[in-house]
Amino acid sequence: MEETIVIDLAIEVAAKAHRTQIRKGTDIPYISHPFAVGLLLAREGCSDEVVAAAILHDTVEDTPITLDYVRQIFGEKVASIVDGCSEPNRHLPWEDRKKHTLEYLRTAPAEVRMVACADKLHNMRAIASDWRRIGDEVWKRFKRGKKEQEWYYRGLVDSLCNHSAPEEGLALFQEFKEEVENLFGKQ
């Protein structure tokens, strides 16, 4: 598949898959999030396959799209990144799923870490923007409140940003750390 075609196809598949979804506690179409994640990575100069995986990162977790479908249409590399960004068992308790994510991201492949960081950076920016607008009401949108969200996002900073890896040179890792510190305070 030609490089630029993979992004166009990812946009089409993701837009259709997420067409009925909205962002938590808003009327914003959900597709704005995967598009923003892809844009963050495109701006960092990532490959078209990484950008496509970013656009598709929530399709397997949150829509009827299967990993086999992603593999068949986009290839093993894109499917592997999407798989790495998906929680393994949505039926587990929130805390167990988040602990698994934190542990996995410490040693995940670089491209998974980049997509995960862009995903979490966009989420953190949206939360921070809404917090400035509506205050602590923002935490009512989530399965867990501010304290648990702070634990999770600080854990993500530790898993994604606090060890030397080649991808840490990307600005988005530092931006993510700064966004978390701006919202929850420095430690």
As for how many domains the chain has, the answer is 1
The pLDDT confidence band at residue 48, using thresholds 50, 70 and 90, is very high
How distant, in Å, are the alpha carbons of 63, 91, 94 from that of 80?
Answer: 17, 22, 23
What is the extent of the structural domain holding 92?
A: 3-184
Alpha-carbon dihedral angle through residues 68, 32, 129, 169, given to the nearest 10 degrees: 60
Q: Provide the H-helix boundaries in the chain.
A: 3-17, 32-43, 48-56, 59-62, 67-74, 76-84, 94-107, 110-134, 146-161, 171-184
Residue 100 CA to its chain's centroid (Å)? 15
123-173: per-residue pLDDT in tens? 999 999 999 999 999 999 888 999 999 999 999 999 998 765 655 567 899
CATH number at residue 54: 1.10.3210.10
pLDDT of residue 149: 96
For residue 66, give both structure tokens.
Answer: 């299967």
76-133: per-residue pLDDT in tens? 999 999 999 998 888 899 999 999 999 999 999 999 999 999 999 999 999 999 999 9
1-30: per-residue pLDDT in tens? 565 799 999 999 999 999 999 888 888 999
Mind telling me the catalytic residues? 61-62
Global model pTM greater than 0.85: yes
pLDDT of residue 17: 96
